[in-house]
Structure 1
Amino acid sequence: MPKITFIENDGTEHVVEAEVGLSVMEAAVRNMVPGIDADCGGACACATCHVYVDEAWRDKTGKPEAMEESMLDFAYEPKENSRLSCQITVSEALDGLVVRLPEFQG
């Protein structure tokens, strides 16, 4: 299974194994990664699963669709590499993915 590293704002790392086909958000929730609230359950209707994709992984995770772009407007301190983790599907190509969590979800 692909491994994903979630890095909290304070630098604490959580490496989880993620089942192919799940979203990065689902992998975080199933592994109790703190800082991924996922209030809408992955419906792209909130911004509480916001992450910053490590620069080395931006091409592999793709760009946000229009709906995700709209929701990112509600995220805390969005950046060029911001994504909603509910919109990134785990694949073998994402083995080693690194994402950073914002200071808080909002």
Structure 2
Amino acid sequence: MPKIHAVDRNGTETVIEGESGMSLMLNLRNVGGLDIAAICGGMCSCATCHVYVDPAWMEKLEEQSADEFELVEFSEHYKENSRLSCQIEMTDGLDGIRVTLAPED
């Protein structure tokens, strides 16, 4: 089970025992109990699961789709390491990934 180092909006870090094959968003919300709205349910249409991925992990992720980029790019909290956690599938290769929840828009 891959570990996820997640920092919430208050700066508190939680280590989550993630589940491979499940999206990062579901791991953060359902397994880790973090406050992620995920209004669209993981359909890449709302950006309420916006996270910042630690730069050391960016190259280990699958390439961001144009739809995902468009959603995070227009967030007032966009950064180069912005991703939608619903679009990242957890694998054993992401064991130790570090993410920070973006502020809510």
TM > 0.5 between the two? yes
Among the aligned pairs, what percent are the same residue? 47
1:65 maps to 65
Q: Distance in 1 between matches of 2:30 and 2:17?
A: 10
- What does residue range 17-96 of structure 1 map to in structure 2 within 5 Å? 17-31=17-31, 32-34=33-35, 36-96=36-96
Q: With structure 1 as the length reference, what TM-score do the two structures score?
A: 0.90
Residues 1:76 and 1:38: Cα distance change in structure 2 (over 3 Å): farther
Q: For structure 2, which runs of at least 5 residues remain unmatched after alignment?
A: none
Structure 1 segments (4+ residues) deviating >6 Å: none
1:6-38 deviations in Å (ceiling 9; x for gaps): 11233201111111110000101112112x211
1:37-93 deviations in Å (ceiling 9; x for gaps): 111110001010000000110101133111101111343411100000000000000
Q: How many residues align?
A: 104
Q: Distance in 2 between matches of 1:76 and 1:4?
A: 25
Q: With structure 2 as the length reference, what TM-score do the two structures score?
A: 0.91
